[in-house]
Amino acid sequence: MAGENIHTKQRIALVDDDRNILTSVAMALEAGGFAVTTYSDGETALKALLKDPVDLVVLDIKMPRMDGVEVLKKIRETSAMPVVFLTSRDDEIDQLMGLRFGADDYITKPFSQRLLMERIRAILRRNELRRQPPAQESESRASTLGPLVLDGQRHLCTWKGRPVDMTVTEFLLLKALADHPGHVKSREQLMNFAYGETLDIEDRTVDSHIKRIRKKFRDVDPEFNPIETIYGIGYRYKND
C-alpha cells in the first residue's frame, strides 16, 4: 500500500483518518487491480500529491490538519486530477462546497465498496475518453433531446450548446430521465439505475442529486425546467 510504486497499474490515493476504512478500501482497490497509496490526514496527502500526482484521489471530507475541501481547492489550483469525496449523510453543505470546487463525484458513508469501485472505473474511463480525439461517430452515439445533448461514453452534457459539468452520478440520473421523456421514474428506479439494485440508498439522496442537477442547469440557463417533480412518486423529464 503506502510507498508502492507500481506505474503499470492505475494509481489511486486514498485519504481518510479512519484506519479501518484505509485498510479495507485499500485491500478492495488492490484486489481490483489498482496500485494504492494511503494517507491518514489531508496535509500529508496534499504535499505528496502535488509532487507526484496519481490517476484518482479518494478523499474524506472531515479530517484533521486539513479537511478534504481545502485539499481539493489546493489540488485544483494546479491539477485536474479526478477526486471522489467520501462524506457522511449529514454533510450536504460540505458536498455542495466540494462539488463547486471541482470534485468528480461523492459517496456517502457507510458505502458499498462495489459502488466506490464502479464510480472510480467510470471516472477513469470518462477521463481517458475525454483525452482522446472525438471519433467521427461520437455524435451519433450521443443522445439528443431538444437542446439537451448527452454523450454517454464521455459523460459529457450540453444544454443549448453550453457545457454543464456533472458528476458521474448526476449524469446517470439525468440520462435515466432523458432516455424516457414523459415517463415517470420512481426514486427507487432512479436509484437502481445510478447505484445498482443491491445497494440501500435513501430517497433523499436522489432528491439531493436532482436538486443539484437543476441548479447546475439553471446556472447555464435560468429558465431551465424540464425535470418535473411528481410528488409522492418521483420525477420525469418533460417531453415538450
For residues 121 and 129, give the distance between their C-alpha atoms in angstroms, rounded to a whole number: 12
* Same domain membership, residue 103 and residue 28: yes
Q: Considering 73, 99, 130, which residue would you say is the last residue of a domain?
A: 130
What whole-number distance in Å separates Cα of residue 16 and Cα of residue 38? 8
Give the span between the Cα atoms of 40 and 26, in whole angstroms. 12
pLDDT of 187 reads 87
Residue of 80, 81, 74 lying closest to 58 (CA atoms): 81
Same domain, 53 and 158: no
d(CA 43, CA 189): 40
Asked if residue 121 belongs to a domain, the reply is yes
User: How far is the C-alpha of 84 from the C-alpha of 229, rounded, in Å?
Assistant: 28
Residues 104 and 166 in one domain: no
Q: How far apart, in whole angstroms, are the C-alpha atoms of residue 69 and residue 61?
A: 6
Residue-level pLDDT at 16: 94
Q: Are residues 38 and 123 in the same domain?
A: yes
Residue listed under C-alpha cell 455524435: 139
Q: Is position 2 within any domain?
A: no
* Helices of type H across the chain: 19-31, 42-51, 68-76, 92-100, 113-131, 138-141, 168-178, 187-195, 203-220
- In this prediction, residue 222 carries a pLDDT of 94
Question: What's the pLDDT at 197?
Answer: 55
Q: Decide which of 96, 113, 130 is a domain's last residue.
A: 130
* Tens of pLDDT, residue by residue, the chain (240 residues): 444 444 578 999 999 999 999 999 999 999 999 999 999 999 999 999 999 999 999 999 888 888 888 999 999 888 889 999 888 765 555 566 666 777 888 888 877 888 888 889 888 988 787 666 655 444 446 788 899 999 887 788 999 999 998 888 888 899 999 999 999 999 888 888 776 654 555 557 788 889 889 988 999 999 999 999 998 889 999 976
Pair 32, 107 in one domain: yes
Does a structural domain hold residue 6? Answer: no
78 located within any domain: yes
Same domain for 15 and 123?
yes
Segments forming the whole domain that contains residue 200: 138-237
pTM of the full predicted structure?
A: 0.72
Judge whether 4 lies within some domain.
Answer: no
Give the pLDDT of residue 169.
Answer: 83
Domain identity same for 107 and 201: no
Q: What's the pLDDT at 159?
A: 95
Q: What is residue 94's predicted lDDT score, i.e. its pLDDT?
A: 59
**Cell numbers found for residue 28:** 478492495
Please indicate, yes or no, whether residues 160 and 201 belong to a single structural domain of this protein: yes
Same domain? For 104 and 28 the reply is: yes
Nearest CA-CA partner of 43 in 18, 63, 23, 14 = 63
Based on the structure, what is the number of domains in the chain? 2
111 part of a folded domain? yes
Considering the domain architecture, whether residues 61 and 149 belong to the same structural domain is answered as no
Domain boundary among 111, 130, 149: 130
